[in-house]
Structure 1
Amino acid sequence: MAIERREKRSPTTLAPGITLAGWPNPYMRPLAYNPKYALNAICPYFTMFPLEYPLRVLRKHRKDAPVVIDPFCGRGTTLFAARAMGLKSWGIDASPVAVAIARAKLSNATADEALSLAGFLVAGVRPAHTPNSKFFRKAFHKNTLRGICALREGLSAGLQDTDASVLLRAAVLGCLHGPLLKSGLASYFSNQMPRTFAPKPDYALKFWSARHMEPPEVDVLKVLERKLKLIASSRELQKARFTNVIHGDSTVAASLPKKRDYSLVVTSPPYYGMRTYVQDQWLRNWFLGGPATVDYAAGVQLEHTGTDVFAESLGKVWKNMARTEADTLDLYVRFGVIPSAKVDAKELVERSLEAANSGLRVLSWRNGLSATSGKRQADQMKADSGACDEFDFHIVRH
């Protein structure tokens, strides 16, 4: 499959911090620091793409009032961008952690409503189970862990979710682990950890022991208040439905929304060769009701046993996207591979489109930003990680 043309970069500015090519303006502050978009930062996530990317795409199509879908929605950046621009959106993800965070982007609750619920649960729930492994004893102060477990059990009690519970759950995930601040002001519940992923227990214990680090005793409600009050300054967003985020597998047609009216796909599939999405989020998965240990057997949504298998698996997603009833379909895909995989990302995307056999073709592509750009905080625990080579594709159905 031949690629027809490559987009040219232009310095023309569309909005503060955004250029026509979607690259951040080096002279402008990134949107991640803009209080208007604080809700999008409620929980940092591994390999998240910057808000500038979906906003650039949506501005291009806004006049057509498209329904947006992200089949690998992750922490919901595309969904938040669509909501900020007054567009309806759908999201699908196989990870319960991703779904919990993404649903918060479509919550209609206020910070006060979420805080009120947090106070009720911390005061009213006596945890039946509190992990007592060496990791948990060193990761959290016992009093802090008790509050976390009260929230965990209260939010997992089988009650129907509300806008407030959805927002609170994501806020807890965002506060669950992160760096210790030199100021002493606690923004996270844990001993020293990265914000976007949880280190494995053995590594973390060695790290803390070598530096004589003990978990701080923090007030869970005060930390949550600081987190949630930040979003109070977010601009008014249109009403949305958090149920538009589906916990499912995008390779399976049954995971698609019943009303297939979407015409614009903005997504970033799991990068080829990156198999640790589930394990990197093990601690957040525990909070959502998962095991208190790393599940190394847990798989990922796409098959990574070889490029042919991966292309076939990704092709199933594109085929499902092409099932839309809309007259037109545009797909904007940010994709990459880890350096050790030694695979041509552009060729792999083309092969996945051929596997889909759904009349999809690459209209244009360009080199995207490195995956190290503002996306990981591995330096906080000196974790080794290689940057992915990223490419942005515009794919259309003909």
Structure 2
Amino acid sequence: MASNGKTFSTAAERWEGIGPYYAMFPTRFADAVIEEHTAAGDVVLDPFAGRGTAIFSAAASGRVGIGVEISPVGWVYASAKLSPASSEQVEQRLLEIADISDEYAEQAQSLPKFFSECFSPSVRRFLLAARVGLDWRRCTCDRTLMAILLVYLHGKEGQALSNQMRQTKAMSPDYAIKWWAENGKKPPNLDVVEFMRQRIRWRYAKGVVEADGSRVYLGNSVNLLPQLAQLVCEEEVPKAKLLLTSPPYFGVTNYHYDQWLRLWLLGFETDAYVTRGPYQGRFTHPVRYRSLLKEVFCHAAELVTDNAVVYVRTSKDPFTKEATLDAMLAAFPQKRLEERFQPFRKPTQTHLFGDKTLKAGEADLILLPS
């Protein structure tokens, strides 16, 4: 099995892909930056951790990754691959959830129409049992199973628990129902336990990555970074030699709307809303967006060494790039700027939303010691 040059012959290659998520930078990119700017044992900081690509890359290469992520979906992905439970525990938990799924038969019938068009009755019962029964915030085993469930919650026909859908982005209920009807698509009638058992065993077949000391925190960097800075002052946490991140691009990504179905499985609302989600307005309101970036980078400055490298991938959209660079320079005024430009090689998220004009790509903004 190979994809994009991967053979999936190592634990890192099998776990790094958890899970599908927009606005993530490639693992190979993170690997190269970490290799160039750090040594074994160094700390890598990512205050916009997403699914934990930079943090996991650091851990897999003998560094320590520390991250903060505001989206529960991204946090579950990142936490699970940094510290997964044993495969035996996860499979046992899978069976326990399946055993109680019949208790949710009545509730499965009362879900909105989208769910009956998206999932078969047995899958709906299982998902409801998992939604209630998995304590993903506190239990490592439950979080690991939840992460793998989230990967396969929706996707291409035959490769997911759902009717035909994109894997990275959940479509709006009304649009999905209409599209399925027009294309004659029905939810797959599958054995959830067997389907998930095969995928759990594949994930664990090459082992797991030892990520001692690496972790990602769930919450807002504006609030959590000062708490981490206090731990640095108390010498409980070492300072980072590399700040590697990619902040949300202005006006492009809506993490709640894109991930509404996975958020539902985590216990959030049943419906998709465009305007909900923590700090969503800061990604679309210019003043709030600038304020968010400046606050985060200034707090992050307290967590890195004086000779740290700050490496940020952002959009070449003029406003996003300018706001990001202004925030970086405000936090690190003594550092030397270097820019590298990265053209897009595949369709972008804006392409998915109907804007198919050519884009210049992304920009890497690098602050180096003077």
Q: Considering the TM-score relative to the shorter chain, is it more than 0.5?
A: yes
The residue type equivalent to 1:298 in the other structure is R
Paired residues of 1:42 and 1:227 also in contact (CA < 8 A): no
Matched letter for residue 327 of structure 2: S
Matches within 5 A, 1:4-15: none
Following the alignment from structure 1 to structure 2, what is the Cα–Cα distance between the partners of residues 176 and 235?
Answer: 23
Q: Alpha carbon RMSD of aligned pairs, Å? A: 2.8
Structure 1 pair 362–369 and aligned structure 2 pair: CA distance change class (3 A): farther
Instruction: Give the Cα separation in 1 of the matches to 2:144 and 2:135.
Output: 14
Other-structure match for 1:132: 111
1:372 is aligned with what amino acid? K
* 1:359 aligned residue: 333
Select the residue among 258, 262, 287 that pairs with 2:240: 262
Match of 1:214 in 2: 186
Residue 248 in 1 paired to residue 223 in 2? no
Q: In 2 relative to 1, CA 63–297 (structure 1 residues): closer, same or farther, beyond 3 Å?
A: closer
Checking the alignment, whether the CA contact within 8 Å between 1:359 and 1:397 is kept in structure 2 is: no
Give, in angstroms, the shift of residue 187 of structure 1. 2.6
Counterpart of 2:46 in structure 1 is: 70
| Partner Cα separation in structure 2 for residue 110 and residue 169 of structure 1 | 14
- The residue that corresponds to 1:167 in the other structure is 144
**Which amino acid in the other structure matches residue 179 of structure 1?**
K
Which among 73, 78, 81 is matched to residue 105 of structure 1? 81
Tell me the residue number matched to 1:80. 56
Q: Does 1:368 align with 2:342?
A: yes
Q: Which residue of 1 aligns with 2:261?
A: 283
Deviation at residue 284 of structure 1 after TM alignment:
0.3
What whole-Å deviation, never above 9, does each CA across 1:320-339 have from its counterpart, x for those lacking one?
A: 110126343211111116xx
Give the corresponding residue for 2:170: 198
Q: Which one of the candidate residues 289, 292, 296 is aligned to 1:317?
A: 296
CA shift digits 1:30-63 (9 cap, x unpaired): 3555332111113211222211111001111343
| 193-202 or 274-283, larger mean C-alpha shift | 274-283
> How many percent identity over aligned positions?
28
| Larger helix proportion of the pair | 2
CA drift at 1:193: 0.4
Deviation at 1:204, TM superposition (A): 0.3
Amino acid at match of 2:185: M
Distance change in 2, residues 1:306/1:298 (3 Å): closer
- Please report how far the alpha carbon of residue 392 of structure 1 lies from its aligned counterpart in structure 2 after TM superposition: 1.3
Contact 2:60 2:211 in 1 (8 A): no
Letter in 1 for 2:142: S
301-310 or 361-370, which deviates more: 301-310
**CA deviation after TM superposition for structure 1 residue 312, in Å:** 2.8
- Counterpart residue number, 1:350: 325
Amino acid at match of 2:346: T
Contact 1:246 1:255 in 2 (8 A): no
Tell me, in whole angstroms, the C-alpha distance in 2 between the residues paired with 1:370 and 1:238.
33
1:292 aligns with 2:263: no
CA contact (8 A) 1:334 1:390 kept: yes
Per-residue CA deviations over 1:9-30 (Å, capped at 9, x if unaligned) read xxxxxxxxxxxxxxxxxxx963
Q: Deviation at 1:251?
A: 2.5
State the shift of 1:305 in Å.
4.5
Structure 1: runs of 5 or more not aligned: 1-27, 181-185
Q: Where in structure 2 are the equivalents of 1:330-345 lying within 5 Å?
A: 330-336=309-315, 343-345=318-320
Partner of 1:238: 210
Q: TM-score, normalised by structure 2?
A: 0.86
Indicate how the Cα distance of structure 1 residues 284 and 79 shifts in structure 2: closer, same or farther if over 3 A, else same: same
User: 1:294 Cα shift?
Assistant: 1.1
**Deviation for aligned residue 1:267:** 1.1
Name stretches of at least 5 consecutive residues in structure 2 with no aligned partner. 232-236
Work out whether 1:178 is the aligned partner of 2:155. Answer: yes
Structure 1 position 349, deviation (Å): 2.6
Q: For residues 360 and 98 of structure 1, what CA distance do their matches in structure 2 show? A: 33
In the alignment, residue 292 of structure 2 is paired with which amino acid? S
- Contact kept, 8 Å, 2:27 with 2:54, in 1: the verdict is yes
Q: Which moved more, 1:110-119 or 1:168-177?
A: 110-119
* 2:122 partner SS: helix
Residue type at the aligned position of 2:50: G
Distance 1:362 1:273 in 2: 29
Among 33, 53, 60, the residue aligned to 2:29: 53
Q: CA deviation at 1:280?
A: 0.6
Residue 353 of structure 1 aligns to which amino acid in structure 2?
Answer: M
CA contact (8 A) 1:107 1:166 kept: no
| TM-score normalised per structure 1 | 0.80
Residues 357, 69 of structure 1: alpha-carbon distance in 2 compared, 3 angstrom cutoff:
closer
Residue 289 of structure 1 aligns to a residue whose secondary structure is coil
